[in-house]
Amino acid sequence: MDERDKPGPDKLDWPPGSNASGMSKVHVKSFGCQMNVYDSNRMADTLAPGGYSETADVADADLVILNTCNIREKAVDKLYSEIGRVREFKEAAERDGRRVLIAVAGCVAQAEGNEILRRAGAVDLVVGSQNYHRLANLIARVQAGERIVDTEFPADDKFDALAAPRREAIARRGISAFVTVQEGCDKFCTFCVVPYTRGAEVSRPVDKIVAEVERLADANVREVTLIGQNVNAYHGQGADGRPTTLGKLLRRLSAVPGIVRLRYMTSHPRDMEDDLIAAHGDLPALMPYVHLPVQSGSDRILAAMNRRHTRQDYLEVIARLRASRADLALTSDFIVGFPGETEDDFSATLSLVEEVGYATAYSFMYSPRPGTPAAALENQVPPGEQAERLQRLQAVITRQWRAFNAQVLGHTVEVLLEKPGKLPGQLVGRTPYLQAVQVMAPRAMIGSLVNVAITDIGTNTLFGALSEPAPALAAAGA
């Protein structure tokens, strides 16, 4: 038995009367970012030894876990409407004499705790993002009749105590996997809840990450995306016992047999260090794609946001990245209508977008979050003005996104085939720049790197045809 297979403190520790019979089903629904997707999988992995198998059908579940996001007010509203929907399934099951438990996990759980139990009588358990390794015991207690809120930040390492993904579950989840390498944030941007909901920045040690990636590769995963709220602030313990960098971690992981593509997100402009930038130039497995949120193009607003970088700093980071890897695709996040944002500030954001030229970008209206410094500012921008600016920004981003996609039309690009497409005989894959491509190819080619000639561009996807196999296909032994 290797280290990863050992039961953690709460694993396999099901008291009599819990679902040890292997008959129960859990439905986990993720909202928000990839960190939640990763956590949802790990929660399912942790519950598996206690007899819970995963179901995609909420009506079929004995336990429903809503893994929530608190980033904007809308995300929180979504939770309460989702609880209402799940409550109907719970009540219908109860009329049939079957008990269904509802657990709320993730960032709203962390932020609102008890308030959720008070507002939503159907909820049985509220569990914060640092406590998932205690899930099995919490569920057992809920089955025994308690209603529980567990949102403390414990000192023990959640990752160590969480069950490792099972081979069968990895295979079901596909050939592209996320691995959390860093969690939490110490940056305290004035608009953001993440430092409060995810706590201080913590990095996992290199050997644990390597072991997890090897395990994924063993189960046919070909692409790994390293994730963290501030992934490039990664400073986990290396083999020599000293903190290492994301650049070095990527170099180490590029040597794991079977892993042909590496990605990482989300990065902060201040933490884009030289060795990470250099890795883009000399690691073939590291994809030419960086998500580098800037939020605003105005120095005045960047300062009010406490981003701790200027427009010029950001442009310099991008110049260094592009000098290392000329075909790098860049994406970003923007907030419009931050308190005090004037038309001039907003114009600076538009001009930054024009200057950088993004593959795509996400843009949001500023949403005041309780407890964050910006929520207390007086000069809030009226929602109508925010919406109008958002529309103008999104028009520019959409134009850039179309232009970016148009560049590959008529060219041959390397595509990693990921899963079946909508039509029989069709597979969906991704280019190095994360564009989805539909291509006619046999199912057995899932997991292969192939050359695809791009023949057409749809609304959300490219279309292409297989051409000669890529050299990497032979090199990877696929």
Q: What is the Cα–Cα distance from 42 to 273, expressed in whole angstroms?
A: 30
| 294 contributes a contact to ligand F3S by CB under 6 A | no
Beta-bridged to residue 263, according to DSSP, are 225
Q: CA 334 to CA 427: how far, in whole Å?
A: 33
Q: Is residue 32 within the footprint of ligand F3S (CB under 6 A)?
A: yes
Query: Which residue's CB is nearer to ligand SF4, number 70 or number 448?
Result: 70
Which element (helix H / strand E) includes 466?
Answer: strand 462-469
Closest CB 183 distance from ligand SAH, rounded Å: 11
Selection from ligand SF4, ligand F3S, ligand SAH, none that 70 binds (CB < 5 to 8 A by kind) is: ligand F3S
DSSP percent split of the chain into helix, strand, coil, nearest 5? 40, 20, 40
**Measured between alpha carbons, how far apart are the two ends of the chain, in Å?**
29
Binding mask 101-120 for ligand F3S (x = CB under 6 A): -----xx-------------
DSSP string for 333-399: EEEES-TT--HHHHHHHHHHHHHH--SEEEEEE----TTSGGGG-S-PPPHHHHHHHHHHHHHHHHH
Name the CA radius of gyration of the chain, rounded.
23
The pattern of x and - marking residues 294 through 333 that bind ligand SF4 according to CB under 6 A reads ----------------------------------------
Q: Which element (helix H / strand E) includes 182?
A: strand 182-183
Q: Is residue 272 a contact residue for ligand SF4 (CB under 6 A)? A: no
Nearer residue to ligand SAH within complex by CB, 178 or 191: 191
Rule CB under 6 A: which residues touch ligand SAH?
71-72, 191-192, 194, 229-230, 266, 268, 293, 295, 333, 335, 364, 366-367, 369
Of 119-127, 187-195, 373-381, 431-439, the window that binds ligand SF4 (rule: CB under 6 A) is 187-195
User: Of 103, 139, 163, 192, which lies in the binding site for ligand SF4, with binding defined by CB under 6 A?
Assistant: 192
Q: Which does 299 bind (CB under 5 to 8 A by kind): ligand SAH, ligand SF4, ligand F3S, none?
A: none
Residues 6+ apart with CB under 8 A from 175: 220, 221, 222, 223, 416, 418, 419, 446, 447
- Residue closer to ligand SAH (CB basis): 160 or 273: 273
Q: Stretches 47-55, 63-71, 91-99, 345-353: which one binds ligand F3S (CB under 6 A)?
A: 63-71
| Nearest of 216, 201, 214, 215 to residue 246 by alpha carbon | 201
In whole angstroms, give the CA distance from residue 42 to residue 125: 18
- Give the contact letters, 227-246, x = binds to ligand F3S (CB under 6 A), - = no: --x-----------------
Per partner kind, with CB cut-offs from 5 to 8 A, the member of ligand SF4, ligand SAH, ligand F3S, none near residue 69 is: ligand F3S
Binding of ligand SF4 by 64 (CB under 6 A): no
CB of 340 to ligand SF4, least distance (A): 18
Q: Which stretch binds ligand SF4 (CB under 6 A): 182-190, 383-391, 403-411, 465-473?
A: 182-190
185 binds ligand SF4 per the rule CB under 6 A = yes
Q: What angle do CA 411, 412, 415 make, to 5 degrees?
A: 130
Q: Does 126 bind ligand F3S (CB under 6 A)?
A: no
Tell me how far apart the alpha carbons of residues 257 and 226 are, in angstroms, rounded to a whole number.
17
Among 43, 69, 109, 286, binds ligand F3S (CB under 6 A): 69
